[in-house]
Amino acid sequence: MMMKYLLLLCFPLTVHAAGEGAWQASRAGMTLNYRGEAASSLPLSATGPVTGKMTLVAWRYELIGPTPAGLQTRLCSSVRCVELDGQSGTTRAFSSLSAGESLRFIWQVPGGGRLVPALKIRRYEVITNYR
């Protein structure tokens, strides 16, 4: 059922992008063990060359276990970061950037000491529309 919901959520984005262009990238997760440290994902980028400027970026990440209190998540290019307000959504904050620019997530939990349980990210992904 969750997969159906995700497909329905993304369908309008891919239909809108069909005349312009879109790329999607995803990776398996990672773990953050300590408060006060930022964990950066591996870069997400198009699998081939793309031209144009980003228009709309959709993001999604999936956690294993509870969300730690105070979790801060950002989606970043090489020149700009955007604070994310949930585990999925869209942003136009990268609109002036090249469609070939890679994106990465950065997760951080304020404070100090070990996270118990650790923050485990199962999967993260972006869909980048461009023209």
CATH assignment at residue 37: 2.60.120.260
Please state the domain count of the chain: 1
Q: Which pair of tokens denotes residue 63?
A: 């956690």
Convert the pLDDT of each residue in 4-51 to its tens digit. Answer: 334 334 444 443 434 489 999 999 999 999 999 999 999 999 999 999
**Alpha-carbon distances of 21 from 16, 17, 31, 118, rounded to whole Å:** 9, 5, 32, 37
Convert the pLDDT of each residue in 84-97 to its tens digit. Answer: 999 999 999 999 89
SS3 content of the chain, % helix, strand, coil (to 5): 10, 50, 35
pLDDT of residue 108: 98
pLDDT of residue 7: 38
pLDDT of residue 50: 95
Whole-number Å distance between alpha carbons of 32 and 111: 13
Whole-number Å distance between alpha carbons of 13 and 38: 30
Whole-number Å distance between alpha carbons of 113 and 7: 38
Residue 6 structural domain: 2-130
- Specify the pTM: 0.84
